[in-house]
């Protein structure tokens, strides 16, 4: 995958690479020093490039300056260097100058180590996502605040608290061994999935930012696929899932940001390349004997890329949802499962099942009931849609619900 | 909410009481949908597990025979743990169990807590 294609922002891309390498070198206690050095490098770049124009190889320029700034910093702070040299991982001889290795391999190793450091269950998952965006993706505090629809102070506090916690727990920034990978990979995948969902399902109006979040989650996921020890079936399955979802990004809203439901989407806007890529990685995920929730969700997403409304499609989706719910309950899966049940076993049976779910504070529960009662009992359908309307905060959702109500009312006349 | 044990029994031995291959195959989807429905209500108390159909039976005279235990006509086909408010609700859930269509039955036991 061309990284350039995913993320055209040079500074953002190089920021996270240099930060990872320096954090990996310095250790968790000195994250801020790494961040300062890199910020300083970009400040120099901005000043010089705006005066003299872009250098021929901007990346190499940034690396050289970052290296020099690091060396200067270490020279100025002999105390820090002494303390650090005891911790330094790969300098054979203490008297030797510390080597700042910005090779492709060390960048990849550093980023992998940082992923496992940040996705640590000792900090909350929303703090993990914010910290990942900051350190692993090079997002600024304001950008993260926009993505979470909150203000800078909240994110700033969240990130700092998370860093303090990681320091307090003495978390090491190091290559995870096989046992650690097995015990920690699930947390890492959960965080990457949250990051992706933040972009995909966010109600933020900033489409570019939302796409960036999805692309970042995919990039970090891809990083795990490039490493032999983390290239595991569930990681492939999650990547497939992201590809399938991302393939519909352009089709799921119109210019005025209104939601376009799956059945009304213009298929020609689905990204064929991403669908093919998803299928490729889903096939690669089909090894081993553990079926993760990502396998099941990717399977569901795969069937959604098949537009034709066949019984095979909905029966497959229903059984995948059955398995997913048995593995791990979630209200949204329960609602989607009931929708699939209506397609395979008919609306009357689905209504009985839906009413057992009792998700009375969830707007989607009532919009599902509204959908199921349409063509069966118009008044009840309207009643349910109106309840959903009262419960939802999303304006896009409100427009959709009002449309449904109007349609039923028009049919009644 | 209480935990309940649901034990599925039917006669797996008597030749003339066995469902046809066609009936067996047709019972797969109802099982999947029934279990999925319980999971969709967040009423599974423990992960599902498959159980060996034969097993062993141990008696006091150290006479261990191959299972399944079938002094009564039926033997255990499987079991699950669910969450329900009371016996009435557990019975309602068990009413949908596909084993009933294959001539079997469901035994329900509520987990008791020591006060």
CATH number of residue B68's parent domain: 3.30.70.1060
Give the tens place of pLDDT for each residue, A56-90: 888 899 999 999 998 888 877 766 666 666 555 44
How far from chain centre, in Å, is Cα A39?
A: 25
ipTM: 0.84
The answer to whether the CB atoms of A333 and B48 lie below 8 A apart is: no
Q: Does A351 touch chain B (CB under 8 A)?
A: no
Cα gap A272→A39, rounded to integer Å: 39
pTM of the model: 0.85
What per-residue confidence (pLDDT) applies to A198?
85
Give the tens place of pLDDT for each residue, B43-53: 999 999 988 88
Q: Which residues of chain B have a CB within 8 Å of the CB of A356?
A: 37, 40-41
Domain assignment of residue B105, yes or no: yes
What per-residue confidence (pLDDT) applies to A92?
43
How far from chain centre, in Å, is Cα B46?
A: 14
Between the CA of residue A165 and those of A118, A139, A171, B50, what are the distances in Å? Answer: 11, 21, 9, 42
Write the residue in A319, A345, A357 that is nearest to B41 by C-beta.
Answer: A357
pLDDT(A32) > 60: yes
What per-residue confidence (pLDDT) applies to A7?
33
Q: Which residue of A has its CA nearest to B41?
A: A357
What per-residue confidence (pLDDT) applies to A263?
79
Give the tens place of pLDDT for each residue, A345-385: 999 999 999 999 999 999 999 999 999 999 999 999 999 99
Q: Which residues of chain B have a CB within 8 Å of the CB of A358?
A: 41
Structure tokens at A144: 């993260």
Q: Measure the CA angle with vertex A292, ends A288 and A297; round to 5°.
A: 125
What per-residue confidence (pLDDT) applies to A98?
67
Query: What residues make up the domain containing B73?
Result: 2-13+28-110
Per-residue pLDDT averaged across A213-233, rounded?
93
Mean pLDDT over the full length of chain A: 88
| A208 vs A187, more confident | A187
Domain total in chain B: 1
* Whether B99 contacts B8, CB under 8 Å: yes
Mean pLDDT over the full length of chain B: 88
Residues of chain B above pLDDT 90, percent:
53
Per-residue pLDDT averaged across A107-132, rounded?
91
Per-residue pLDDT averaged across B79-103, rounded?
94
The answer to whether the CB atoms of B33 and A318 lie below 8 A apart is: yes
């Amino acid at each position: 995958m061309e990284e350039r294609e995913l993320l055209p922002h040079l500074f953002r891309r190089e920021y996270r690479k240099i930060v990872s390498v320096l954090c990996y070198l310095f250790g968790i206690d000195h994250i801020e020093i790494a961040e300062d050095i890199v910020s300083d490098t970009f400040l120099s770049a901005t000043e010089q490039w705006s005066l003299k124009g872009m250098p021929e190889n901007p990346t190499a320029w940034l690396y050289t300056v970052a290296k020099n700034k690091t060396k200067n910093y270490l020279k100025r702070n002999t105390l820090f260097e002494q303390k650090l040299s005891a911790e330094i991982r790969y300098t054979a001889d203490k008297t030797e100058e510390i080597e700042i290795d910005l090779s492709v391999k060390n960048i990849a190793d550093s980023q992998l180590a940082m992923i496992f450091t940040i996705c640590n269950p000792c900090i909350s998952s929303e703090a993990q996502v914010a910290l990942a965006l900051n350190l692993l993706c090079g997002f600024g505090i304001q950008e993260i605040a926009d993505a979470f629809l909150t203000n800078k102070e909240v994110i700033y506090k969240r990130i700092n608290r998370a860093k303090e916690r990681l320091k307090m727990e003495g978390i090491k920034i190091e290559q995870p061994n096989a046992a650690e990978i097995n015990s920690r990979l699930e947390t890492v995948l959960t965080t990457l999935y949250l990051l992706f969902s933040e972009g995909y399902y966010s109600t933020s109006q900033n489409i570019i930012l939302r796409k960036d979040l999805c692309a970042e989650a995919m990039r970090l996921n891809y990083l795990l696929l490039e490493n032999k020890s983390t290239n595991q079936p569930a990681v492939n399955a999650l990547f497939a899932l992201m590809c399938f979802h991302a393939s519909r990004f352009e089709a799921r809203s119109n210019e005025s940001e209104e939601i376009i439901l799956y059945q009304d989407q213009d298929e020609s806007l689905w990204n064929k390349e991403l669908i093919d890529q998803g299928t490729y990685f889903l096939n690669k995920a089909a090894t081993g004997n553990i079926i993760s929730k990502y396998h099941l969700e990717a399977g569901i997403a795969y069937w959604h890329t098949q537009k034709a409304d066949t019984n095979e499609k909905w029966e497959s989706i229903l059984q995948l949802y059955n398995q997913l719910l048995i593995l791990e309950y979630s209200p949204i899966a329960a609602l989607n499962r009931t929708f699939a049940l209506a397609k395979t076993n008919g609306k009357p049976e689905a209504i009985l099942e839906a009413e057992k779910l009792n998700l009375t504070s969830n707007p989607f529960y009532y919009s599902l009931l509204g959908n199921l009662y349409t063509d069966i009992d118009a008044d009840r359908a309207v009643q349910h849609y109106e309840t959903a309307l009262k419960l939802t905060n999303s304006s896009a959702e409100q427009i959709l619900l009002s449309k449904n109500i109007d349609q039923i009312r028009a049919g009644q006349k | 909410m209480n935990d309940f044990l649901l034990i599925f029994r039917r006669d797996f031995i008597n030749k003339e009481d066995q469902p046809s291959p066609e009936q067996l195959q047709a019972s797969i989807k109802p099982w999947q949908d029934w279990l999925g429905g319980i999971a969709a209500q967040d009423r599974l108390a423990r992960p599902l597990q498959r159980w060996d159909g034969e097993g062993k039976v141990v008696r006091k005279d150290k006479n261990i025979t191959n299972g399944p235990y079938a002094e009564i006509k039926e033997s255990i086909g499987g079991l699950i743990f669910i969450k329900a408010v009371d016996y009435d609700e557990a019975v309602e859930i068990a009413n949908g169990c596909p084993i009933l269509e294959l001539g079997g039955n469901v035994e329900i036991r509520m987990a008791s807590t020591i006060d």
